[in-house]
Amino acid sequence: MPRLTIREVQAMKERGEKIPMLTAYDYPVARMVDEAGIPLVLVGDSLGQVVLGYDSTIPVTMEDMLHHIKAVVRGSQRALVIGDLPFMSYHASAEDALRNSGRFLQEGGCQAVKLEGGTSVAPTVKRLVECGIPVMGHIGLTPQSVNQLGGYRVQGKTPEAAARLLEDALALEAAGAFCIVLECVPTPLAALITGRLAAPTIGIGAGAGCDGQVQVISDMLGLFTDFVPKHAKQYAVLADTIKSALAAYAAEVRGGQFPSAKQSYTMDESLLTSLYGPSPRIKLVGESQG
Q: Say how many C-beta atoms besides its own lie within 10 A of residue 244's C-beta.
A: 9
Q: How far is the CB of 42 from ligand KIV (least distance, A)?
A: 6
Q: Say how many C-beta atoms besides its own lie within 10 A of residue 126's C-beta.
A: 18
Task: Give the residue, chosen from 19, 204, 220, 223, that forms a contact with ligand KIV under the rule CB under 6 A.
Answer: 204
Distance CA 223, CA 140 (A): 25
Active site residue 130: no
In the bound state with ligand KIV, the residue whose beta carbon lies nearer, of 32 and 284, is 32
Distance CA 3, CA 115 (A): 21
Closest Cα partner for 89 from 66, 107, 110? 66
Task: Give the residue, chosen from 6, 189, 214, 220, that forms a contact with ligand KIV under the rule CB under 6 A.
Answer: 214
Task: Give the residue, chosen from 45, 173, 211, 219, that forms a contact with ligand KIV under the rule CB under 6 A.
Answer: 45
Distance CA 58, CA 98 (A): 20
- Measured from each CB, the residue nearest to ligand KIV is 44
In the bound state with ligand KIV, the residue whose beta carbon lies nearer, of 23 and 262, is 23
Distance CA 101, CA 218 (A): 25
Distance CA 193, CA 165 (A): 8
CA distances from 84 to 71, 103, 108, 181, 246 (A): 14, 12, 11, 12, 33
Site string for ligand KIV, 216-255 (x = CB under 6 A): x---------------------------------------
Q: What's CA 232's distance to the chain center, in Å?
A: 14
Site string for ligand KIV, 67-86 (x = CB under 6 A): -----------------x--
Q: How far is the CB of 181 from ligand KIV (least distance, A)?
A: 5
Find all residues with CB under 8 Å of 209, minimum gap 6, and list them: 187, 188, 190, 191, 194, 195, 203
The answer to whether 23 contacts ligand KIV (rule: CB under 6 A) is: yes
Site string for ligand KIV, 133-152 (x = CB under 6 A): -----x--------------
Q: Which letter does DSSP use for residue 222 in this model?
A: T
Identify which range of 40-48, 67-75, 151-159, 245-253 contacts ligand KIV by CB under 6 A: 40-48
- Judged by the rule CB under 6 A, the positions of this chain that interact with ligand KIV are 23, 42, 44-46, 84, 138, 181, 183, 204, 214, 216
Active site residue ranges:
183
